[in-house]
């Protein structure tokens, strides 16, 4: 989360404006307004959202499982004298 916040801050404070080398700046070249967030940034954001949705689904499923009655133990009458060979 911190990395995305830092990247967005740096992007809006510095990268949107002129980020060319000093030699190019001396010749009055400019790159202002040519920066944009790429596909890889938005894929990271989408992956984080999908991860949070997954965590929410697991929490909801775990809450439903805790509400069910526990499984009844097997009756000892059925187990007496029964030998299972594999």
pLDDT in tens, the chain (86 residues): 677 788 788 887 777 777 777 787 788 887 777 778 889 888 988 998 999 999 999 988 887 666 555 655 655 555 555 666 65
Average confidence score pLDDT of the chain? 76
Percent of the chain with pLDDT over 90: 15
CB-based burial, 71-85: b 16+ in 10 Å, e otherwise: eeeeeeeeeeeeeee
Phi and psi based region of residue 38 (left: phi greater than 0; alpha: psi -120 to 50; beta: remaining) = beta
Q: Is the C-alpha dihedral spanning 74, 78, 80, 83 positive or negative?
A: negative
Q: How many CB atoms lie within 10 A of CB 35?
A: 15
In the chain, the DSSP E strands lie at none
> 39 near 51, Cβ under 8 Å?
no
Task: Name the residue ranges covered by the structural domains of the chain.
Answer: 1-36, 37-67
pTM of the model: 0.52
């Amino acid at each position: 989360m911190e990395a995305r916040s830092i990247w967005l801050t740096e992007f809006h404070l510095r990268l949107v404006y002129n980020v060319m080398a000093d030699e190019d700046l001396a010749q009055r070249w400019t790159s202002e307004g040519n920066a944009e967030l790429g596909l890889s940034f938005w894929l990271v954001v989408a992956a984080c959202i999908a991860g949070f949705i997954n965590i929410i689904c697991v929490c909801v499923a775990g809450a439903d499982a805790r509400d069910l009655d526990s499984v009844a133990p097997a009756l000892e009458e059925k187990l007496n004298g029964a030998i299972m060979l594999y």
